[in-house]
Amino acid sequence: MTAPSKKSHQSRSVARLGAVQALYQMEASGIGSEAVIREFVDHRFGNELEGEALAPADEAYFTDIVHWAVERQADVDRAVAKRLAEGWRLERLDATLRAILRAGAAELLRGEAPIEVVINEYVEIAKSFFEGPEPGFVNGALDAIAHDVRA
């Protein structure tokens, strides 16, 4: 197996960020997965932001993450909830943090990408949204979920 190219890695990173944003948008607005996927593919990926071209996304990978997270949401949420502190419920987490954990857990449960890559990518996404302890929490939770998956 050959290592993915830098361009391929970047397009997957963009897909992961898009998946987090899509899951957040779905929860916040109640819109369905197909409508959100179509919106991202048609209007967000490959466009410009403030005159700068956005990096291309691996649209198929984005779609797979969103579908997997939605179709197996009960399993994904159970995997995340298992790793929350005692007495904490998934609903108590910030909606963005919840979307990050759901996307990351979906990828880990799916088992197609290297565990270290998945964890690192979602920790970086968390760093782009949070300056406090949340990236460390994402790291610990996803590492524990990965351990559960490997067990």
pLDDT band at 149 (very low <50, low <70, confident <90, very high): confident
Neighbours of 58 (CB within 10 A): 22
More confident residue, 8 or 122: 122
Question: Average pLDDT, stretch 108-130?
Answer: 95
> What pLDDT was estimated at residue 87?
75
In a domain, 146, yes or no: yes
Torsion of CA 119, 112, 93, 27, to 10 degrees: 140
The string of pLDDT tens digits covering residues 85-103 is 777 888 889 999 999 999 9
In a domain, 1, yes or no: no
Alpha-carbon gap, residue 91 to 81, rounded angstroms: 10
The string of pLDDT tens digits covering residues 62-72 is 999 999 999 99
Is residue 75 predicted with pLDDT exceeding 50? yes
**Are the C-beta atoms of residues 95 and 27 closer than 8 Å to each other?**
yes
The enclosing domain of 57 has a CATH number of: 1.10.940.10
**Are the C-beta atoms of residues 88 and 82 closer than 8 Å to each other?**
no
Torsion of CA 37, 109, 27, 44, to 10 degrees: -30
The string of pLDDT tens digits covering residues 12-49 is 999 999 999 999 999 999 999 999 999 988 888 876 65
Domain containing 122 equals 6-150
The amino acid at residue 134 is E
In a domain, 22, yes or no: yes
Which whole-number Å values give the CA distances from 45 to 48, 55, 91, 94, 134, in the listed order? Answer: 9, 8, 29, 25, 27
Number of domains in the chain: 1
